[in-house]
Amino acid sequence: MKPTLTQNTIMEEDPTATAERKKNPRRYSLVHQASCETQHHIGVRRQNTIQHRKQLNDQMRGQKIFQQLNDEGIELIFAANEGCIEFSVIMSSTDTLPNFFTDIINSLKSANVQIAHIESRPGKVAGLDVLADCRATKRELIEAASFLTKLHNSLTAFSVFKKKSNEVEVWFPRHISDLDRCSKCITKYEPTTDPRHPGHGDEEYIARRKFLNDQALEFQFGDEIENVDYTETEHATWKAVYEKLGDLHESHTCSVYRDNLKVLQEEGVLTSDRIPQMRDVNKFLQKRTGFELRPCSGLLSARDFLASLAFRVFQTTTYLRHHKSPHHSPEPDLIHELLGHVPMFSDPLLAQMSQDIGLMSLGASDENIEKLATVYWFIVEFGLCKEDGKLKAIGAGLLSAYGELIHACSNTPEHRDFDPVVTAVQKYEDDDYQPLYFVADSIHDALAKLRKYASTMDRPFSVIYDPFTKSIETIKSSVDLEKAFSRLSNDLSAITRAADRMKIITSA
């Protein structure tokens, strides 16, 4: 049997654990997660290309072009069927332009490649580049490339690229029910495998955590969220964190957080004695901003996590941090979600900012997912704002962590103005408290900058959320905007009627 939990064991952290944070990663990072996913995808694609290059080389009897062709060109040719494909090609040479142009035209024409556009430019290093938009079968493309390679001795590069299209290539959820496919757990920090985890070796804690995760794993869209029978140890952990953070809420947190926390307390949703049930929290959030918590079994991929925000859904863990380390958690836990995120999701502007980040992520490239995850981390998780000339926390990671909340608002770390362009590429430090925090003038300011940043992201379509059907509309042309304009027109008509009525009442 384990010893009885006391106030002393729960209020103080093990000094050795604090020391360990100085030399080991101290918490799970959405930024690190996104970076790992990007590198994993790059590795998988690279291995696939190596295999495809070999297969094409075998099929085409070892033509030299397959050793020289760029990876994207290999994938384009490998995936092409027997019909025509449209592509762009960049060819480089150290020869003169007339000689190079003549050899290119002869090579392409001899293979029946259709040229839609062709132009030249100085090479990036030396010589010159010729760019051409073409149409051909994959055999015609291979024949033209092979012919040019043999004909033009000064050729230094032959790279083929897929022409940009408006087709959506990355799957993303279109309806809130599709989030069932975005709930796959990506575990990177478990007490069963990592000795640095505060719960490592505690079999009772590990079993309890697994039980809660298994329950969350079974959740599907349309299911009623079951109440959890939390243990007295878990309630005591909650109480310790709740009361210790309460001392800082007035002095270190933004007014939005304080105001919404007060309402949550007045309505009895958040109390110090008992952990609130997710079902009760959702009733409150739905009335305030339409956000809702959805149980998940652990750490999700950055893409899946961000996609959920597009539907105003926050994927929420149901387990708690270890009771011997109540004021530090190396990963998101229920205390972090309830004390950090819920009061902020209760605010219309913060809820909108979170949803906007989610909408930006839908169908985005791996590179942009990593940037969005970084922006989310530095503003929604660890962001600050200015109020009355002082720094105040708006990030959930600060609002639920006593030590870092004090650190972030002090003069110790560096503070920079929030700029999504800069923030998106900022390296995240995870071996101790962060040396740098980003500061927004206000939540309004952060939201405006995020929307401006979104307009610079390269995506061949836009998305709009339909709150009535809880679905995503993909906008590729003006025709796709008709439904959205119809909803906007109805809303404006209702507002206009209300305004006219107010004028009549005021003038009466």
CA dihedral 384, 386, 387, 390 (to 10 degrees): 90
Tell me the C-alpha distance between 441 and 461, whole Å.
31
CB atoms within 10 A of CB 288: 16
Going by C-alpha positions, the residue among 260, 186, 175, 208 that lies closest to residue 467 is 175
Is 252 a residue of the active site? no
Q: For the purposes of burial, counting CB atoms within 10 Å of the CB of 200, is it exposed (0-12), middle (13-18) or buried (19 or more)?
A: middle
Dihedral-angle region of residue 312 (phi above 0 means left; psi in -120 to 50 means alpha; beta otherwise): left
CB atoms within 10 A of CB 274: 12
Which phi and psi (to 5°) does residue 156 adopt? -110, -20
Q: List residues bridging with 390 in a β-sheet.
A: 387
Secondary structure class of 296 (helix, strand, coil)? coil
* Catalytically annotated residue among 92, 325, 400, 404: 400
Please check if 41 is assigned to a binding site.
no
Please check if 367 is assigned to a binding site.
no
- In angstroms, the first-to-last Cα distance of the chain is 76
Tell me the C-alpha distance between 132 and 214, whole Å.
55
* Catalytically annotated residue among 37, 328, 336, 337: 336
Going by C-alpha positions, the residue among 376, 355, 227 that lies closest to residue 289 is 355
Tell me the C-alpha distance between 239 and 11, whole Å.
10
**Strand bridging mode 313-316 / 292-295:** parallel
CB atoms within 10 A of CB 53: 19
Could you say which DSSP state residue 505 is in?
Answer: H
Residue 247: half-sphere exposure toward Cβ, Cα within 13 Å: 8
Please check if 336 is assigned to a binding site.
yes
Is 234 a residue of the active site? no
C-beta separation of 264 from 342 below 8 A: yes
Tell me the C-alpha distance between 475 and 172, whole Å.
14
Tell me the C-alpha distance between 353 and 350, whole Å.
5
Tell me the C-alpha distance between 375 and 369, whole Å.
10
The answer to whether the Cα torsion of 343, 346, 348, 351 is positive or negative is positive
Is 197 a residue of the active site? no
Is 341 a residue of the active site? yes
Chain-centroid distance, C-alpha 105? 45
Dihedral-angle region of residue 332 (phi above 0 means left; psi in -120 to 50 means alpha; beta otherwise): beta
Rg, Å, the chain Cα set:
28
Going by C-alpha positions, the residue among 272, 270, 357 that lies closest to residue 311 is 357
* Catalytically annotated residue among 29, 341, 361, 370: 341
Binding residues for Fe cation: 336, 341, 381
Binding residues: 336, 341, 381
Give catalytic residue positions. 336, 341, 381, 400
